[in-house]
Every structure is written in structure tokens, then in C-alpha cells.
Amino acid sequence: MPKISSQQHVLSGIFNIDKPAGMTSHDVVHLVRRASGQRRVGHAGTLDPMATGVLVVCLGWATRLVEYLVDGRKHYRATLRLGITTDTYDAEGMILAETGGINVTEAEVSAVLRQFLGTVQQVPPMFSAIKHEGTPLYKLARRGEWVPRTAREVRIERLDLGEWSPPYFSLEVVCSKGTYVRSLAHDIGQKLGCGAHLAALSRLASEPFRLEQAVALETLIEALARGRAQELLYPLEQALDPFEVWVADAESVQDILHGRAVAGPPPGRSSLVLALLRTGEPLAVLQYDTVRGMWQPAKVFNSTHGESS
């Protein structure tokens, strides 16, 4: 499978960036947009400013795939600090309560962690981008306004206790999209009765993207400046796993471009397919219609420039 190609010096594809601490995800997008000279740049899965690690950034036609890319499982390494509760649930917030003489044991923490495994209801933090009546919660929180938040269902597949050095300890977390590790840290502290907050966080993976393959932001910006960023774009079969990938024939191309369903083999490992032109350019994302037994275009891309139609 060829790498995602540049069309008329316009990059379209996906970067796996190791986000440095102290920057928002939007800051990273802004730098990539400015360095690439391209308007259509977006990220798939926000990281808080204090967090480091995998941030998936899309350019060109790939920005239409963000909704699919955020679905992958997330893997984090988190450090929690016992005994201190903050308004943001992390180390950047204002201290709300502090407990002295913490007498929590490693065994007690392990027992509490087991209570958070599986499908759980999680209340998002006030300091988040979730909107309440059109206004992001963090803006309300900064004005001193607190509103009830609806619990959301998330899935935590792994929650392994790592280094134990009270009042600090580390966790390995594997979870679904939409999980707030800050809320998890806060809730663990409440269960332990001493309070806790998130002291540090690194995203090790946003599947299928992993930290060991990520590029430093500084390296990427330099590559963009030198016109060598194409080398850092992900090949389709790796970036869009678990999508199936098809090469569409001439008749199917016309049907897909006009939004018509096309015939094809039944779904294998995924109900989503990335249809390509014979040149290797992306044509569309197709979704299987189980009622009709056909593949319906869900996202269609312009076949000339790789931009969405």
C-alpha cells in the first residue's frame, strides 16, 4: 500500500506527534497549520496542556476521518498524588482540600482500583471542553459557576498499579475514548477517603498510534519547513487500522461519487471500508448497510485533490 501522497504540494494524511507539556492540543494544531501553510488541520483526541504523548494530527482530506480515528482505545501512564484535591482534578488547579497523615496502603489502593474496571459511569470535570447550553464548562468554571454534569459511560479495560512511593503512585490505564483520567484520579481519591489529583499524564497510545513511533513536535516543524514532512505521514494500512481497504473499479467510483451504495464482499473485521482510486488516492469511507447488504458512502473525497466533497 503506498503512502498517502501529496497533491500539488498540499499534504493530506496523518501525523503521530509526541506532544510536549505546557501546550494545548490547539496550540499544536496552530503550529502545524502555520508551518505547513495549510488551513485544514485538526487533531483526533484532546490532550490537556500538562499531558504529554500521542496526539494524532490530520491534514487535508484526513481531517474528515477524525471522527473515526478518535474511536481507538487509549493507553496512559498516570501519576496520582494522594491527600490533595484540586478544582481541576490535576496539579494545575487550585487546592480545595488537603489531608495530612495519609495512611493508605498499597493493598487498599489495589482493591479500590478493581472497582473502576469494566464499564463505569464517569462524571466529566467542570474544567473540560464539554458544553453546557452552548458554553464550554471550563469557561463557566473560570467564572466561578458550577453546573451539574451528566455521568457518561466509559470503559476501563486495564488499571494496573505501578510504582508505589506515597503520597505518589503510578497507574497504567487502558480505556475507551471519552475517559477523563483526571476524573478517574479524583474518583479514586474519593474512594480512598483522602482525596487525590492527577500529578502527571502521558498518553502511550491512541490506537493504532503508539508513543514509540511518535515524532517530536520540533522535529515535525523542522521537516515541514524543509519540505520533508511527507516522510512522516502514516501509510494508509497502518493509520486507518482497523479499516478494510479496497481499490474501487471505474463503475463503483462513479456510484460512490454520487452517493450511491455499491456491492461488495460482506464485512470482515470492520463494518467500515476505505475505498481508494487506482492511483492510491482516497475516494471515500463506506459503511456496511446490513439491511440492504450494500456499502453506503459515509464520507466522500474529491478524487482530484484529495479534499472532501
Query: Secondary structure of 64-109 in the HEC alphabet?
Result: HHHHHHCCCCEEEEEEEEECEEECCCECCCCEEEECCCCCCCHHHH
Q: Is the pLDDT of residue 5 over 50?
A: no
- Alpha-carbon distance 203 to 283, whole Å? 31
Q: Is the pLDDT of residue 80 over 80?
A: yes
Q: Is 48 a catalytic residue?
A: yes
268: amino acid identity, one letter? G
The residue to which cell 498518553 is assigned: 203
CATH topology of domain 13-71+208-238: Pseudouridine synthase (3.30.2350)
Instruction: Report strand pairing: 272-276 vs 209-210.
Output: unpaired
Q: Is the pLDDT of residue 152 over 60?
A: yes
Give CB contacts under 8 A, 24+ apart, made by 282-285. 282/4, 282/12, 282/61, 282/236, 282/306, 283/248, 283/253, 283/256, 283/257, 284/256, 284/257, 285/64, 285/65, 285/68, 285/243
- Alpha-carbon distance 125 to 127, whole Å? 5
N-to-C CA span, the chain: 24
Which pLDDT band, with edges at 50, 70 and 90, does 13 fall under?
Answer: confident
Q: Is the pLDDT of residue 242 over 50?
A: yes
Query: Mean pLDDT of all residues in the chain?
Result: 89
Give residue 106's pLDDT: 96
Give residue 306's pLDDT: 39
**Cβ neighbourhood burial of 142 (10 Å; 0-12, 13-18, 19+):** exposed
Name the active-site residue from 18, 27, 48, 87: 48
Which pLDDT band, with edges at 50, 70 and 90, does 9 fall under?
Answer: low
Does 74-206 carry CATH code 3.30.2350.10?
Answer: yes
The residue to which cell 490537556 is assigned: 48
- Residues with Cβ within 8 Å of 149's Cβ and at least 6 positions away in sequence, in order, are 123, 124, 126, 130, 132, 137
Convert the pLDDT of each residue in 15-59 to its tens digit: 999 999 999 999 999 999 999 999 999 999 899 999 999 999 999
- Alpha-carbon distance 301 to 304, whole Å? 9
User: Which of 122, 216, 138, 137 shows the shortest CA–CA distance to 177?
Assistant: 122
Give residue 238's pLDDT: 66
pTM of the model: 0.86
Give residue 302's pLDDT: 61
Residue 30: DSSP 8-state: H
Q: Is the pLDDT of residue 7 over 90?
A: no
* 74-206 and 13-71+208-238 share a CATH fold: yes
Ramachandran category for residue 218: left, alpha or beta (phi over 0 → left; psi -120 to 50 → alpha): alpha
Domain boundaries, the chain: 13-71+208-238, 74-206, 242-300
- Residues with Cβ within 8 Å of 233's Cβ and at least 6 positions away in sequence, in order, are 3, 4, 11, 13, 14, 15
Q: What are phi and psi of 184, to 5 degrees?
A: -60, -45
Which pLDDT band, with edges at 50, 70 and 90, does 2 fall under?
Answer: very low
- Alpha-carbon distance 108 to 295, whole Å? 51
User: Could you name the CATH architecture of 242-300?
Assistant: Roll (2.30)
Largest interatomic CA distance in the chain: 73
